[in-house]
Amino acid sequence: MIVVKKFGGTSLGTLDRIEAVADRIIEDIEQKGESPILVASAMSGETNRLISMAHQLAPHDRSPAYDMLLASGEQVSISLLAMALHKRGQKARPLLAFQLGIRTDALPSKASIESIQTDSLQELVQQNIVPVVAGFQGMDAFSNITTLGRGGSDTTAVALAAALGSDICEIYTDVPAVYTADPRLVPTAKPIESITFDEMMEMASLGSKVLHARSVELASKFNVKIHLRSTFEKREGTWIVSPGGNMMEKPVVTAVTHDPNTTVIKLFPTPDKPQFLANLFSALAKKGVIVDIITQSQSPEGQRLAFSVQSDDRQAALDTIQGEITEATKISLMDDMAKVSVVGVGMQNQFGVAARFFRALASQDIPIHLVTTSDIKISAVIEKPQLEKAANHLHQEFGLEG
């Protein structure tokens, strides 16, 4: 059976780890009769080293040269992994995007895969040669090397599985599973056996760093089950799958996630122009500032606006706002905020989840500054010193300790 297996940068971070990965692949071939197709990220630290050189030299250059530079990291890791397999008597072939035919659009630094040729992969597998594919990279219509952005190697792996008609994609990483909460923050957090694509995508956008939303979206589109598991342990990790089955049996909440780098910006009174909000948020988008939760309210004294941004974007946001307001509008800034969220498809079939969420925080005297909900998540912005208490209490409230 053909299985696409993707190994992340930490799994390949040293020569010893590359050897360990090679051992594990050989074992799976011998014991399970698998025909693996491997996808590798750059050795950990390498992509950052390359980005840092580019940043020092020409910080704003996003020409094809930038993508070519970044793509060199995967060229190194797939060559070394193929050599580690050779050393164990296993034929292997490292394959760059141009050799395999991974065609993308021409969007620099965040290209999207348009098509993958799988003939040569099938041929290699038939000859018992293990293909070792460079993740993160593609080639546009002009033979330029492109890269797929953060989490790009996961996307390569899922796209390969989809193109091969394989219904499983294994993603090996340095954590053993997706957890009901970050165990560093919530000590009672436990591994999740199975989670839906939608939940995983919400978690990714709410601060979970285990998987990038884009690869999960692709997996959902082509119904490729992702098995996320540890490179360093044998036990199963978390299956990311389409919902199916009886949704009534699902727990109301699947996980608590958090994002500690949140800044809240409040404007009062906002300029009394009909185009103000549209102009402000267009200007912020243009500067690359991602605005998360937005609330607006009318009072006799004027209109109030509050929204949250990533703390990294704080200064860019302030600079942009200055260009859109007059002296009449006062800006107040709340640094040191955090976002805590609960995610679960079970919410769709359950009333009063929001009330339970608010009550849980209120019972601990934790004030909520901003709040937003969707059909499968509730998020609140709170003060960062209260994050740990909030996350643990929500985790307990929704019975995630098991």
Paired strand residues for 248: none
- Contacts of a copy of itself in 145-174 (CB under 8 A): 145
Residue 86 binds to a copy of itself (criterion: CB under 8 A) = yes
CB of 73 to a copy of itself, least distance (A): 8
**Among 292, 279, 290, 272, which residue's Cα sits nearest to residue 321?**
279
Among 25-33, 65-73, 200-208, 209-217, the segment contacting a copy of itself (CB under 8 A) = 65-73
Selected from 26, 28, 34, 64, the binder of a copy of itself by CB under 8 A is: 64
Other beta carbons less than 10 A from residue 241's beta carbon: 19
Residue 92 binds to a copy of itself (criterion: CB under 8 A) = yes
Residue 363 binds to a copy of itself (criterion: CB under 8 A) = no
**Among 176, 307, 284, which residue's Cα sits nearest to residue 234?**
176
**Among 331, 354, 324, which residue's Cα sits nearest to residue 341?**
354
Selected from 1, 31, 56, 299, the binder of a copy of itself by CB under 8 A is: 56
Residue 50 binds to a copy of itself (criterion: CB under 8 A) = yes
CA angle, 160 as apex, 246 and 108 as ends, to 5°?
110
What's phi and psi for 313, nearest 5 deg? Answer: -90, 5
User: What is the DSSP-derived secondary structure letter of residue 191?
Assistant: B
Residue 298 binds to a copy of itself (criterion: CB under 8 A) = no
SS3 (DSSP) at 53: helix
Residue 108 binds to a copy of itself (criterion: CB under 8 A) = no
Residue 72 binds to a copy of itself (criterion: CB under 8 A) = yes
Q: Which helix (H) or strand (E) holds 264?
A: strand 255-268
**Among 267, 391, 260, 393, which residue's Cα sits nearest to residue 337?**
260
Paired strand residues for 228: 171, 238
Selected from 24, 35, 75, 107, the binder of a copy of itself by CB under 8 A is: 75
Residue 99 binds to a copy of itself (criterion: CB under 8 A) = yes
CB of 137 to a copy of itself, least distance (A): 11
Binding mask 234-253 for a copy of itself (x = CB under 8 A): --------------------
Among 12-20, 147-155, 321-329, 369-377, the segment contacting a copy of itself (CB under 8 A) = 12-20
Measured between alpha carbons, how far is 402 from 394 in angstroms, rounded to an integer?
Answer: 13
- Residues 347/398, Cβ–Cβ less than 8 Å: no
Q: Which residue has the tokens 């949250």?
A: 308
Selected from 3, 39, 78, 353, the binder of a copy of itself by CB under 8 A is: 78
CB of 134 to a copy of itself, least distance (A): 9
CB of 2 to a copy of itself, least distance (A): 21
- Contacts of a copy of itself in 120-149 (CB under 8 A): 143-145
Helix residue ranges, H only, 334-386: 353-363
- Residues 176/191, Cβ–Cβ less than 8 Å: yes
Applying CB under 8 A, the residues found at the interface with a copy of itself are 15, 18-19, 50, 53-54, 56-58, 61, 63-66, 68-69, 71-72, 75-76, 78-80, 82-84, 86-87, 92-94, 96, 98-99, 143-145
